[in-house]
């Protein structure tokens, strides 16, 4: 059975992450507000147009928070940097299926470096394409992109909800992370279809009451109270 506890992973792409004071303040705030992880979007300006930061940034925020570091690599040739992220302290390392030459090998390398292994798929990539990789049993988390990677604050692409259901149909144990365009409203169907790690940039950081929004993103299931103790 898939984990029923819902984890929330706020994406700091939506804040002024280059300002250390802002970063510290926001990290402390989401931690207090009930977030379980912090989602760190690494972009290299090649796999996606935008460029953000690299493993040195992960190394820096490791000392600013006790939240799980959920690192989303939107880079070409992720194999080349896996060790750097392990050393920097990433807890979860997610690579894009579209960026891997040999996804099974890449996932093995992440596991060999003692990190939780995530595999992300773009809105245009059919779920069936990752079946063989999932069948190997090494992927811990599938990240279904709700938007085309590259920026926060985009609108959710509706077909992505079905893809959550398709992944859950293929595998009932893997964590399913939904990333991009998640709102309080659409989070309910996404949880029902099998998503149990909810990423959100704009919905959380633009909210007046982060605690309330994080609670709403976790949903009103019997595990909500338990979850907030974790
Ligand atoms: C998109 C990123 C997402 C994004 C989410 O490339 O991977 O993590 O920051 O932000 P929202 O929730 O605003 O779509
Ligand atoms: Zn992301």
pLDDT for 185-220, tens place per residue? Answer: 999 999 999 999 999 999 999 999 999 999 999 997
Going through the chain in order, the beta strands assigned E by DSSP cover 7-10, 37-43, 68-74, 92-96, 116-121, 141-145, 175-179, 197-200
Rounded to 5 degrees, φ, ψ at 182 are -80, 135
Which among 8, 15, 41, 72 is the best mutation to test ligand 1's pocket, defined by most ligand atoms within 8 Å of the CB? 41
Whether 1 has a pLDDT exceeding 60, the answer reads no
Ligand 2 center to 7 CA (angstroms) = 15
Residue 127 is given by DSSP the state G
145-175 per-position pLDDT tens digit: 999 999 999 999 999 999 999 999 999 999 9
CA of 200 to the centre of ligand 1 (A): 6
pLDDT of residue 221: 62
Q: Provide the token pair at 169.
A: 């149909």
CB-ligand 1 contact for 201 (6 Å cutoff): yes
Q: Closest Cα to atom 6, ligand 1: which residue?
A: 149
8 Å CB contact between 168 and 193: yes
Return mean pLDDT, the chain.
Answer: 95
Tokens of 147: 């938007």
In the predicted structure, residue 223 carries a pLDDT above the cut 80:
no
Which listed ligand is nearest to 10 at the C-alpha? Answer: 1
User: Residue 2 — very low, low, confident or very high, per pLDDT cuts 50/70/90?
Assistant: low
Nearest to 40, CA basis, from 118, 110, 108, 157:
118
Compute, in angstroms, the gap from residue 76 CA to the centroid of ligand 1.
Answer: 18
- Give exposure, 8-23, as e/b (b: 16+ Cβ within 10 Å): bbbbbbbbebeeeeeb
CA of 11 to the centre of ligand 2 (A): 7
H helix intervals, 91-173 = 103-112, 131-135, 159-170
Q: Is the pLDDT of residue 178 over 90?
A: yes
Residue 228 confidence (pLDDT) above 70:
no
Q: Taking a C-beta distance cutoff of 8 angstroms, is the pair 119, 143 a contact?
A: yes
pLDDT digits (tens, 9 = 90+) for 33-86: 999 999 999 999 999 999 999 999 999 999 999 999 999 999 999 999 999 999
Structure confidence at residue 82 (pLDDT): 99
**Residue 99: φ, ψ to 5°:** -100, -5
Of the candidates 120, 115, 56, 119, the residue with the CA atom closest to the CA atom of residue 86: 115
72 within ligand 1 shell (Cβ under 6 A): yes
pTM of the model: 0.95
- Tell which phi-psi region holds residue 145, choosing left (phi > 0), alpha (psi between -120 and 50) or beta: beta
Q: Which of 52, 9, 26 is nearest to 182 (CA)?
A: 9
Structure confidence at residue 174 (pLDDT): 98
Predicted confidence band of residue 19 (pLDDT cuts 50, 70, 90): very high
- Ligand with an atom nearest the CA of residue 182: 1
Q: What is the per-residue pLDDT across 95-109, written as a single tens digit (0 to 9) for each?
A: 999 999 999 999 999
- Ligand 1, closest atom to CA 150? 6
Q: At residue 225, does pLDDT exceed 50? A: no
């Amino acid at each position: 059975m898939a984990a029923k506890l819902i984890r929330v992973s706020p994406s700091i792409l939506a804040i002024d992450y280059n300002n250390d004071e802002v970063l510290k303040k926001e990290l402390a705030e989401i931690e207090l507000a009930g977030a379980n992880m912090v989602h760190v979007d690494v972009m290299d300006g090649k796999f996606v147009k935008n460029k953000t930061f690299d493993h040195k940034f992960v190394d820096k925020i490791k000392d600013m928070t006790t939240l799980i570091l959920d690192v989303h690599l939107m880079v070409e040739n992720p194999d080349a940097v896996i060790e750097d992220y392990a050393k920097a302290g990433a807890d979860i390392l997610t690579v894009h299926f579209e960026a891997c030459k040999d996804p099974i090998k890449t996932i093995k390398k992440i596991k060999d470096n003692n990190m939780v292994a995530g595999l992300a798929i773009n809105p245009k990539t059919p779920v069936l394409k990752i079946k063989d990789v999932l069948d190997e049993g090494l992927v811990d988390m599938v990240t279904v992109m709700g938007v085309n990677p590259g920026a926060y604050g985009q609108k959710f692409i509706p077909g992505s909800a079905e893809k959550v259901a398709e992944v859950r149909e293929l595998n009932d144990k893997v964590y399913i992370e939904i990333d991009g365009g998640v709102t309080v409203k659409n989070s309910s169907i996404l949880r029902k279809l099998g998503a149990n790690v909810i990423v959100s940039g704009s919905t959380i950081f633009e909210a007046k009451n982060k605690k309330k929004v994080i609670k709403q993103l976790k949903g009103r299931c019997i595990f909500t109270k338990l979850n907030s103790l974790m």
